[in-house]
Amino acid sequence: MSKQESNSPKLNSKEDDSSTGFIGKKLSRREMLRLTGVGGLGLLLGGGGIGSIIAARSAAAPSRAAQASSALADSIPFFGEHQAGILTPAQNFLCFAAFDLTTTKLSDVKKLFQAWTSTAASLTSGQLIGNVNDNPNLPPTDTGEADGLSPSRCTLTFGVGPSFFDGRLGLGSQRPASFQDLPVFTGDNLEPQWCGGDLCVQACADDMQVAFHAIRNLARIARGTAVLRWTQEGFQRSSGADPKGATPRNLLGFKDGTGNPDVTDRKEMDTVVWNNNGDGPSWMNGGTYMAVRRVMLRIEVWDRSNLSDQEATFGRHRQTGAPIGSKDEFDDLDLKATDASGKLIIPENSHSALAHGDGTVKMLRRAYSYSSGMNLKTGQLDAGLLFISFQRDLVKQFVSIQQRLSKNDKLNEYMTHTGSAVFACFPGAREGGYIGQSLLG
């Protein structure tokens, strides 16, 4: 979803737009926006890139070179200026995990992040972890369920929560001044089992088994230093189901992520997403803040609402995703337009109107739908949205927008927030270094 976080100088150069995953193939802003939000891969592996070249070869007897090229095209480098999984086009599946530390030794945490870094480099390139996987007398260093699978565009994004700086590790002075747990918003019904965490890992891939394999092995490696606090799997429509790469729809049937900022605009990303000199402690330069909200949707209630009410709730037409009164999904929101009677065409308490505000405050959404079976207390579906956003400043961006939404959003009738967490995501790791090195030394 942007200039991919690569260790290669060529891939990170301004001349090559690697937001497509392929050097020299640049997408328009509109095409990129259709791939963002809870969006996915879309056309990237078709439409004239490396994937098309490989597909044109003999399917009956693919050469080793073709197989190697296919694996390369399916891999997103772990090392780079920024962490992958932030500006990267959203993959088909998500496994998110929050961890609690079980140690008070900073040296243990440093060793964990060093181990996680080498493991992440293997996982994102489709290699088995470690070198003890064929000795019958020893436990394998890789659990094996992804053996033989492609990297599936796997990305791993790491962060630390406010509680990481509570004094146990002697890092209290390094906590950014405004970095703290989110306030309780109007209408929140937070459950402790979906909140907080000292550490987090966001694993995304175009194959769920690949994403699960990543979290399983990172959790296994963390034993003795950190334990799982909570996990949530997520999904969106796959690139195979929608080869045109249109903006994905949430479980309420509406397109989700249309209004994301332009991730191909480096200047805008420096304004909206990335921390810069002067924003806070230097260890966050090139990093970003992640907000995570688990939102349960009242699907059964929504399903009994008429289409007119549904569209007024979102402020958009369901079929096209266009603002009410417009025809194209990407038309500007005209929040002052009125009908013949003087009534606002887009309701001022619609989700789109409140999320947009005056248009000056933005954040980068990267959300996934989830389904966790049936809620045994209510007998209804336990399904909704794992909302994830990245922003340069949590208070000025996420909190200010969420305060507007929590008080007046028409969508509140159909949802409740059950989980909440925030994490400071490190800048990218350089090859030979490790993730979090700017903080841990």
pLDDT digits (tens, 9 = 90+) for 185-219: 999 999 999 999 999 999 999 999 999 999 999 99
What's the pLDDT at 66?
52
Tell me which amino acid residue 82 is: H
Tens of pLDDT, residues 319-355 = 999 999 999 999 999 999 999 999 999 999 999 999 9
Give yes or no for residue 124 having a pLDDT over 80. Answer: yes
Q: What is the mean pLDDT of residues 217-242?
A: 96
Of 2-16, 63-77, 121-135, 153-167, the one with minimum mean pLDDT is: 2-16
In a domain, 57, yes or no: no
Give yes or no for residue 266 having a pLDDT over 80. Answer: yes
Token pair for 194: 């979906």
CA neighbor of 397 nearest in space, from 283, 260, 289: 289
What's the pLDDT at 244?
83
In a domain, 10, yes or no: no
CA atoms lying within 13 Å on the CB side of residue 99:
26
Token pair for 18: 């690697």
In a domain, 9, yes or no: no
Number of domains in the chain: 1
- More confident of the two residues 375 and 298: 298
In a domain, 377, yes or no: yes
What's the pLDDT at 245?
83
Give yes or no for residue 285 having a pLDDT over 80. Answer: yes
Say if residues 294 and 418 touch (Cβ distance below 8 Å): yes
In a domain, 48, yes or no: no
What's the pLDDT at 236?
95
Pairing relation of β-strands 381-391 and 199-205? unpaired
What's the pLDDT at 53?
34
Of 165-169, 238-242, 392-396, the one with minimum mean pLDDT is: 238-242
In a domain, 32, yes or no: no
What's the pLDDT at 377?
86
In a domain, 265, yes or no: yes
Q: Determine the distance from the C-alpha atom of residue 400 to the mean position of all C-alpha atoms in its chain, rounded to a whole number.
A: 20
Give yes or no for residue 14 having a pLDDT over 70. Answer: no
* Domain extent at residue 419: 70-169+180-425
Of 1-15, 63-77, 127-141, the one with minimum mean pLDDT is: 1-15
In sequence order, what are the residues at sequence separation of 6 or more whose Cβ sits closer than 8 angstroms to the Cβ of residue 371? 235, 251, 381, 382, 383
Question: Band of the pLDDT at 8, cuts 50, 70, 90?
Answer: very low
Q: What is the mean pLDDT of residues 7-28?
A: 38
Please tell me the distance from the alpha carbon of residue 128 to that of residue 131, in angstroms, as a whole number.
8
Question: Band of the pLDDT at 69, cuts 50, 70, 90?
Answer: low
In a domain, 389, yes or no: yes
Tens of pLDDT, residues 40-62 = 333 233 333 333 333 444 344 45
Percentage of the chain beyond pLDDT 70 is 84
